[in-house]
Amino acid sequence: MLALKDAITFAWQALRANISRTLLMLLATGIGVASVVILTSLGEGARRYVSNEFSSLGTNLLIVVPGKNDTAGANPMTMFGVAERDLTIDDARALMQHPKISYLAPFNFGTADVTWRGHKRETPIQGSTAALLKLRKWKIKQGKFLPDTDMDQANPVVVIGSNIRDELFGAHAAMGQWIRIGDRRFRVIGILSDEGQSMGLSVKDAVIIPVAAAQALFNTSSLFRIFLEVKTHEAIPEVTSFIIRTIKARHQGKEDITIVTQDAILTTFNTILNSLTYAVGGIAAISLLVAGILIMNVMLVAVSQRTHEIGLLKSLGASSRIVLYLILIEAALLTLLGAFAGLLVGHLGSWGIRLAFPVLPAYPPLWASIASVLVALVSGMLFSLLPARKASRLDPVIALARH
Amino acid sequence: MIKLENIHRNFQVGEQTVHALDNINLEISKGEYLSVMGPSGSGKSTLLNLLGLLDRPSSGNYYLDNQDTTQLDEEQLAAKRNRYIGFVFQTFHLIPRLTAAENIELPLVLAGVDEKIRKQKVAAALQSMRLANRAEHKPQQLSGGQRQRVAIARATITNPAILLADEPTGNLDQKSGLNVVETLEQLNDKGITLIVVTHDAALGSRARRAIRMLDGRIESDSQQDSTNAGA
């Protein structure tokens, strides 16, 4: 029986003898594999990006959201839950008593015009307390953050990010200036350092005022969220039940809040983004099927061009099985070469993406590399079965007949 | 060595059945030198394909070395071809991308012979065919006579008992044709059974035994002087 090594040598010589046909098929398979690798690396990059964002917020973070959602936080829609009963500053103050909470920040949010000497920008305004700085792990570049006063106190002070400073003040000094937010005036007391982001919103664009001032500005007594950080990860269940008990007692026995943990959000995003990665990987894998069909057609042409050769092989004692084997080895060699070329291009491509967009950790997942090579191989082999069978069934008498 | 009993081979051409071979009975002993002649369509090529196990009879029995080959399956027939039969074709049928040495080596590769032994046998075959300095040449770099000698080396590399030549000189000029015929005859002198199918009366008359075919039948089967003087 024909040895594998000799079969590979024979197939290799056949591939080299038909270099343009070979390159065409390598290209088809290579593009398929490379697109799987690059697209999944983008999906994976998005997943890692989100994951990093969340861990920068601290893993012991709890978010109290007004309104009860029965799916208990494993659903990002709770972020937009509608309250039955508003969360208030008094609720936040009641929660602060627990000894295992290290920081607690009430949070409010709205959009308003920010103006200084005719420079105007409409921007999101965040209302909170001094604790937000520690919760968000931000840093102050200049001045100081919101003063550590009682939550009720609506001091007319504001802390801004560098973009806002540049847009409003340009080359002027921002510190100590009075700016107008909506119909109120605030004094700039601090500028945030550019490091870090928060949920897609750049720190550079932040405008932060005391939570009581934000309530007055947006004419509301409710809170959008309460952020709190628990001292240890183990204390999360204890603190969670404390929060539910406390709020229930304060809201006439109604449990009308949802507590979102960092883990739950992260799990949700991981699930979504992993599905996304599988989906784009799957779509890219369709190109491998297309490559398979191309291989089938080109192999069919190759088989009819090599009718004489196949007839000759049979006359030299090759059985149908050996002919089938030789053609399949040729297809396997071709798809493997194409697949590895594609892997190389794909990994280079995602490296290029990481260079061009350093925020996006676009590392192709290992499974994508393995699966794309396997899919290429399987599709190449399956689609070569037809031409290989055609070749193996050639009648040598007819194949060798003189023209 | 070879025994054909009541061999029929029919082809279906449209609605008509063509009797390419019509009740052939033939015995060929080991070491014979046989020519098969006849006009086109007389069935000589069909006979050759059948003898070479490339084709199966519609009915009848073909004994090769006392074994009935009509009972064998595809795999077994392929193995028998590899061991017993060598083919030499009019158009050489060399694989253009392979060197002379690689073409000669091919039957041994297909049979799974060890590489070391292969190289020795190929080197010896190149030597005896006076092709040693052409080993690394591709077919298109060789003359017609050289190509046919490569084909003969390939056909005989497995030491087959039977060498089937189908118009072996048909594409060659007279000088290299003669050279090829002499090469074949030398192999016959060493014991190989040589069967030559040809139109060429001169070539046919060199064989010790001549068969004439007509309309799928053996018209005559005669011993001739084997003086090699016909050419």
**Does residue A76 lie within any of the structural domains?**
no
* ipTM (interface pTM): 0.91
B102 pLDDT exceeds 90?
yes
Report which of residues B183 and A285 the model is more confident about: B183
Cβ atoms A354, A363 nearer than 8 A: yes
- A191 and A162 within one domain: yes
pLDDT tops 60 at residue B43: yes
For position B226, what pLDDT does the model report? 57
* pLDDT score recorded for residue B151: 96
**Between the ranges A162-171, A224-233, A246-255, A337-346, where is the mean pLDDT highest?**
A337-346
Which of A13, A311, A312 is closest, CB to CB, to B97? A13
Residue from A315, A392, A394 whose CB has the most chain B CBs within 10 Å, to mutate = A315
A227, A255, A283 - which closes a domain: A255
In the structure, what pLDDT confidence band is assigned to residue A400 with cuts at 50, 70 and 90? confident
User: Chain A partners of B107 at a C-beta cutoff of 8 Å?
Assistant: 316-317
Please tell me whether residues A100 and A228 are part of one structural domain. yes
Yes or no: say if B91 and A402 are a contact pair by the CB < 8 Å rule: yes
For residue B228, tell me if it sits in a domain. no
pLDDT band for B188, please (50, 70, 90 cuts).
very high
User: Closest to B112 (Cβ–Cβ): which among A1, A17, A315?
Assistant: A1
The answer to whether the CB atoms of B54 and A6 lie below 8 A apart is no
pLDDT at A135: 84
Question: SS3 of A137, please?
Answer: coil
Per-residue model confidence (pLDDT) at position B231? 41
Q: Which of B79, B82, B89 sits opposite A400 (nearest CB)?
A: B89
Whether A41 is in a domain gets the answer yes
Closest CB from A312, A318, A321 relative to B93: A312
A291 has a pLDDT exceeding 90: no
How many domains does chain A contain in total?
2
Give contacts of A2 with chain B, Cβ < 8 Å.
Answer: 109-112
Residue B230: is its pLDDT beyond 50? no
Question: In this structure, what CATH number is given to the domain that contains residue B51?
Answer: 3.40.50.300
Put simply, whether B160 touches A (Cβ < 8 Å) is no
B177 or A79: which carries more pLDDT confidence? Answer: B177
Whether residue B187 is predicted with pLDDT greater than 90 in this model: the reply is yes
Mean per-residue pLDDT for A215-241?
89
Q: Is residue A302's pLDDT more than 50?
A: yes
Q: Please indicate, yes or no, whether residues A134 and A205 belong to a single structural domain of this protein.
A: yes
Residue contact B109–A6, C-beta within 8 A = yes
Q: Are the Cβ atoms of A317 and B112 closer than 8 angstroms? A: no
Residue A403's pLDDT is 46
pLDDT value of position A198: 57
- pLDDT at residue number B227: 56
Predicted local distance difference test score (pLDDT) of residue A70: 52
Q: Assess if residue B229 is contained within a domain.
A: no
Cβ contact (<8 Å) for B107 and A321?
A: no
- Nearest-Cα residue of chain A relative to residue B83: A317
CB B145 within 8 A of CB B176: yes
Task: Give me chain B's average pLDDT, please.
Answer: 92
B136 vs B201: CA distance, rounded Å: 36
Average pLDDT score over residue span A198-221: 85
Identify the domain containing residue A217 by its residue range. Answer: 85-255
Q: Do A251 and A300 share a domain, yes or no?
A: no
A118 backbone dihedrals φ, ψ, rounded to 5° = 85, -15
Same domain, A99 and A229: yes
Higher pLDDT pick, A200 / A314: A314
User: Which has the closest alpha carbon to A2: A328, A269, A256?
Assistant: A328
Q: Inform me whether the pLDDT recorded for A179 exceeds 50.
A: yes
Judged against a pLDDT cut of 80, whether residue B228 lies above it is answered with no
Pairing of strands A178-181, A101-116: antiparallel
Q: What is the pLDDT of residue B189?
A: 95
Q: Give the range among A102-116, A187-201, A372-386, B99-113 with minimum mean pLDDT.
A: A187-201
Note whether residue A65 is domain-resident.
no
CA distance B206 to chain A (A): 25
Chain A interface, best mutation among B93, B102, B108, B116, by max A CB count within 10 A: B93
Distance from CA of A327 to the nearest CA of B (A): 14
Round the average pLDDT of chain A to a whole number and report it.
Answer: 86
> What percent of chain A stands above pLDDT 90?
37
Pair (A249, A272) in one structural domain: no
Residue A85 DSSP label: S
Residue A143 has pLDDT above 50, yes or no: yes
Chain B residues touching residue A3 (CB < 8 angstroms): 109, 112
Residue from B81, B92, B110, B197 whose CB has the most chain A CBs within 10 Å, to mutate: B110
Alpha-carbon Rg for chain A, nearest whole angstrom, is: 32
Domain count, chain B: 1
B121 part of a folded domain? yes
**B151: which residues sit within 8 A by CB, 6+ positions away?**
B88, B89, B92, B93, B94, B103
